[in-house]
Amino acid sequence: MNFIILAKEVPDITFINPLSWDHEKGVLKRGKLPSRINPLDIKALAFAKDISSYYPGKSVIAALSMGPEKCINSLYRLSAMGCDRAVLVSDNRLGGADTYATSYILSHSILKIINNFFSGNSEFMIVSGMHSSDGDTAQVPPQLAQALGIPVISNVSGITQNNTPELLSYEQDFCRITPLVKFPCLVTVSDYSAVVYPSFKKMRMAELNKTVEKWDIEILGLKNNITSRLLSRTSVKKIYQKQNDIPRKKIEISSTEELKSIIEKSFLEIKESVQPIEIRKQTEIKSDRYPVCVFAEAENNSLTSLTRQIVSEAGRIADKLESSLTAVICSNRNENILNQLINLGCDRVLNIYPEPDCLYSDILISDAVSKIAEKRNPSVFLFPASPEGRIVASRTAYSLKAGLTADCTALKIVNDNENKKIMVQTRPALGGNITADIVTVNSFLQMATVRAGVFSEFMPLSGREGIIEHIEIKNNFPGIHVRKDYSALLNYLPEKNDIIVSIGAGIKSRKDVEKIIKPFAFSLKLFSGTLPPIAGSRKAVEKGYVERNFQVGQTGKSVSPVIYISIGISGAVQHIAGIKNAGTVISINTDRSAPVFENSDYFIIADYSKIVPEITQLFMKDPDAVYA
């Protein structure tokens, strides 16, 4: 078994220096930031080394990267970490390539690697991090898989063996188990626990022997008039400096009494606030010609909350474009779910369902979605930024040569220079440090995946009219048997919660979790009515304080509780990414300069082992404790 590791050199965004900004142009001077190999791509290499031990014979591990010449050092480093071969695709004509253009170039590079390094042997696995820490689109791996016609197994964080090796990916409330049976395939890795280190000797050897090959457009055998501008399907129109999704108040508090009253006030204020009711009315559709489409998902006989949010936003966009709204869903003719889509505002629902005994696969579903798009000619197609939604969106966009923007937090319809209505897609990048406005270029179809917790939901209107059509799909593709293990269902961190108590590496021991944190959570139950879950940072997971599916952050869960109480968490960008949509954020930390305070509404500089038992006592003793 051979491996190709996709590795990207990224700017180190842990702490962005104010000097890195060109305030006049509103762009980040990337050259001013130190760079490193995308951390998850190093995890990908660790995974490849582990999985290679399951297959007999010698494997070749090749690293592939695309970027300017200076990235060569990262490839020497990967050689020193155990890659046998390394290729840097570097060509000035490819600067600024979007995900479509990058996937196109990488797919040609991979075909050359198979020929040159693997003697044409197709028993190989492409492995990459699930996303890069700068772009964070998670689009290149599935688009590349689409270009090569191979399946994707995404977000893998563990391996188990059951006759064949099986890959484990943890989702919201279940674990996806995928046996490794089809090759070639592409695997993306999330929080994989093993680590690899470079050896100094190997690093010297790699530099001396110049083991990294440099390839350009000509070496790849592509037409020499190719440029990233010609290939790309999206263009960044404007970049602005970090904007907090919810600006935080950053108020310092100093006593436990004050802390108690803030928890109570924040809880009651948000609970009692009345959300306006919005309904998509039954209107006469002026045109069914260029519909707005949305890819819908359901779990446990109900639409997911993210699906309800994007259907509602797609409805608003359809009204602005005066067009109809079509939902595409893969459900086994579940009338209840299909009617939920009509009631929410869809004018048409296209239910794709597989023939009996047909294996579900990402290739199969995206092929069906692409065919629907070719037939219906939508102007806008929205997908949930869920693990499956991202993959189907990426594959579909690649096969339709359409523009796709990942993880949007705002969508705006504006008139362009030719007075045509276009959709401006806004998304955070560089770990949330910048926000970018992106438009689609070189493609009529504008596609976007949409982040959870951003758009409000329409209220369903029962009895709304709409058309339901069923489309059977046949399996002409290599499928992968995926099992879902719901045993984690009883024990998962829901996205919406009243209160979440979240702990970090500042907690000294598991004993403190039992003796201090759990009683605190219990005392909050007396007042809120439900026992708050105890979540944590990645370091808290690594220390065994909380389970993996209770990790909050970029590679964990995004949460939107009424109150988020962080205890002994420093507030790294990757952690903060998961609490952007939380209501009130309250933090306890001993360090005045902890970044978490910048992202809190209220904070207290204190040792948790002193303050948390005090506040627990206050809630326990409160005579009016049981409010709910």
Q: Which residues bind ligand FAD (CB under 6 A)?
A: 39-40, 133, 504-506, 537-540, 551-556, 568-570, 572, 574-575, 588-591, 594, 607-609
For 608, residues 6+ apart whose C-beta sits below 8 A from its C-beta are: 506, 507, 512, 516, 567, 568, 588
Q: Shortest distance, CB of residue 427 to ligand FAD, whole angstroms?
A: 18
How is residue 307 written in tokens?
Answer: 């699906």
The position carrying tokens 């065994």 is 544
Q: Shortest distance, CB of residue 193 to ligand FAD, whole angstroms?
A: 13
Alpha helices in 274-345 (DSSP H): 305-321, 335-344
* CB of 344 or CB of 576, closer to ligand FAD: 576
Burial of 378 (0-12, 13-18, 19+ CB in 10 A): buried
* CB of 389 or CB of 504, closer to ligand FAD: 504
For 220, residues 6+ apart whose C-beta sits below 8 A from its C-beta are: 89, 105, 108, 109, 112
How is residue 387 written in tokens?
Answer: 């693990």
Distance set, CA 256 to CA 185, 456, 529, 584, 611 (Å): 55, 35, 21, 17, 7
Distance of alpha carbon 123 from alpha carbon 108, whole angstroms: 18
Torsion angle, alpha carbons of 501, 505, 510, 513, to 10: -20
Q: Shortest distance, CB of residue 456 to ligand FAD, whole angstroms?
A: 26
* CB of 81 or CB of 422, closer to ligand FAD: 81
* CB of 310 or CB of 559, closer to ligand FAD: 559
Q: Angle at Cα 573 formed by Cα 267 and Cα 271, nearest 5°?
A: 10
* CB of 416 or CB of 591, closer to ligand FAD: 591
* CB of 561 or CB of 568, closer to ligand FAD: 568
Q: Shortest distance, CB of residue 170 to ligand FAD, whole angstroms?
A: 12
Q: Shortest distance, CB of residue 38 to ligand FAD, whole angstroms?
A: 8
* CB of 398 or CB of 564, closer to ligand FAD: 564
* CB of 259 or CB of 318, closer to ligand FAD: 259
Q: Shortest distance, CB of residue 462 to ligand FAD, whole angstroms?
A: 39
Distance of alpha carbon 201 from alpha carbon 372, whole angstroms: 55
Q: Shortest distance, CB of residue 39 to ligand FAD, whole angstroms?
A: 4
* CB of 94 or CB of 579, closer to ligand FAD: 579
Distance of alpha carbon 531 from alpha carbon 196, whole angstroms: 40
Distance of alpha carbon 42 from alpha carbon 197, whole angstroms: 9
Q: Shortest distance, CB of residue 544 to ligand FAD, whole angstroms?
A: 13
Amino acid at 167: L
Q: Shortest distance, CB of residue 21 to ligand FAD, whole angstroms?
A: 22
Distance of alpha carbon 324 from alpha carbon 293, whole angstroms: 8
